[in-house]
Amino acid sequence: MASDKTMLVAAIDFGTTYSGYAFSLRHTYEKDPLKIHANQAWNAGGRQLLSLKTPTCLLLDNNKKFVSFGYEAENEYANLAMDGEQDKYYYFYRFKMKLHNNKHITSDMAVEDITGRTLPAIDVFSKSIRALKDHLLEELEKQGTGLKVDEIKWVLTVPAIWSDSAKQFMRASAEKAEIPGERLLIALEPEAASIYCQHLPIEKLQGARAGFAMSRKGTKFMIIDLGGGTADITVHETLDGTRLKELCKASGDACGGTSVDNAFFQTFVKILGGPVMRKLQKEYTSSYMDLFREFETLKRTIRNSTSGKVNFTVPYVVLDQICKENLDEDFPKTVKASTLADKLSILGDKIRFDAEFMKSLYKPTIDNIIAHVNDVLRKKESGNVDIFLLVGGFSESPMIQEAIRKAFPNIRVIVPEDSGISVLKGAVLFGHRPDFISSRIARYTYGVSVTPKFDPEKHDEKRKIKMGNVPHCNNVFSSFMKADTSVLAGQKIMQVYNTTTPFQSQMGLQVYCTSLEDPKYVDDDGCTLLGELDVAVPNPSIAEHQLAVEFHFGNTELSVTAVEIPSLTPCKAKFKL
């Protein structure tokens, strides 16, 4: 349960394409856990859209000051582009994927806006999180539920397949947005969706057979969380109706909805060429955005049974002008000369694509998702899984649902009501009950770099170094957690380290992680420096000091504490990227 001063839990689902927030009061949760308020008042171009999420778009001025976020940023930037003023602004969208599979996440890395100009990523992420936080606080004020920031337990969602560095980066961004670190929880997206579905009655679980209950003890199911950027897959078992156990570590990749958008972009590259598409993006941005908005609408309706032609409105005047200026041909002639001429035709301001061609844009993404699901099913921990839980915005696509049902005919596919916001609502529930997940599977092997006394039987001669007159071995990987280990939430692992020089006041431990089970050295292929742990040595002296460092595993983030032995004096321990 959230701490005593917590009056309300608020979750921010920071997505690749769309973001949103939801909240519930503590006393409401105790009576009715599913009474969760998701904001619906996202303002799109002067109209109040009944939209539970807003595009993850950030508009800043040339002085890097905040202008707007979401639908407002989209519309304002489109207007600026029409007036030729866009060069005076920064417009960021779909930047969350900068953190996916990135082995070089640092506090000073940069992210590109739509025209290729860069700003520090931490500023872009923190300003976006702040916009969502401020919108939420304004909404609470309007409802007469004005609360102080420290009376709110904040939850921020991240993909489970992300690295510890990416999770740390999101935490740092949230803290920069003035969300107090001690009031912030990181929730893993598929876990949050799984928790939400535990609470849903059967009539809200499309595809569930009569008498089924997610919360029945022993129920095993695979969560397939398909968002804008990533597919995030894991397997859970219900323990006792109130707790869940992770059976195999989260896996997946960048095969969310935006990978279909990328295939669509490449279609236009084949028709117009790369330089023309880049020009459309940089100089005619509002037309470029219109093109993708139109595709977003189409994506939600196309299904396997769609046949004949699919009509699609394009910014004809701009495309015609751009073709004449750059290719010396009008738009219709450019289309006819392209390698896709037999797949499409033009009628007024519409392109008519063959339905089969449009469906083919989904194929690489669908194949990728199905391959990942098969990989998880092959693991022994996934034995007897006969239920798939399909969640996330991209899982609402009929093409995706039909493809998964066809590929796995013997497995029941359940799609919860509000699949697109199941992560968001589940994150609120997680904030009220962070112990809902009883154990998780470690995704990596963790260890520190140590320099033990040299042992010719075990160590590489080239790594021998002298410390005083004693030979030591450099860069040895000393592991304290193996990949694929089942770890109870909050499990602590203690490691004891010794100071190496007289009057040493700080001990710096470099923490590494790898998907290898038993690495020998920290610079082996596949090993990544996660960060540096600084431990203050109390009362430094000429004598050797022993420090016990406790690594806290099994939660959504890695954390540490330290004490001196034998005095048990607490040591300041700070972990930084």
Structure tokens at 179: 């969300």
Taking each helix axis from N to C end, the angle separating 257-272 and 274-283, rounded to the nearest 10 degrees, works out to 110
**Cα first-last separation, the chain:** 30
Phi, psi dihedral angles at 303 (to 5 degrees): -140, 175
Mean pLDDT, 10 residues at a time, the chain of 577 residues = 76 93 94 88 52 89 96 90 89 92 85 92 97 93 83 95 91 95 95 93 86 85 94 93 88 92 93 91 84 85 91 92 93 92 90 93 96 95 92 93 96 92 95 94 92 92 90 93 91 89 89 90 91 89 90 86 90 80
Phi, psi dihedral angles at 387 (to 5 degrees): -135, 130
Tens of pLDDT along 458-513? 999 999 999 888 999 999 999 999 999 999 988 999 999 888 888 999 988 889 99
Cα 250 to Cα 168: distance, rounded to the nearest angstrom: 18
Tens of pLDDT along 185-235? 999 999 999 999 999 888 888 888 877 878 889 999 999 999 999 999 999
- Considering only CA atoms, which of 491, 476, 573 is closest in space to residue 533? 573
Cα 10 to Cα 31: distance, rounded to the nearest angstrom: 17
Tens of pLDDT along 433-446? 999 999 999 999 99
Which class would CATH give 442-576? Answer: mainly beta
| Cβ neighbour number for residue 155 with a 10 Å cutoff | 30
Q: Is residue 128 classed as helix, strand or coil in its secondary structure?
A: helix
Where in the chain are all domains bearing CATH 2.60.34.10? Answer: 442-576
Does the model's pTM come out above 0.85? yes
Alpha helices, DSSP H only, in 311-391? 316-327, 331-337, 355-360, 363-377
Cα 177 to Cα 187: distance, rounded to the nearest angstrom: 18
Structure tokens at 525: 């292929």
423 close to 226: Cβ distance less than 8 angstroms: no
- What is the pLDDT, as a whole number, of residue 566? 86
Structure tokens at 199: 């609470």
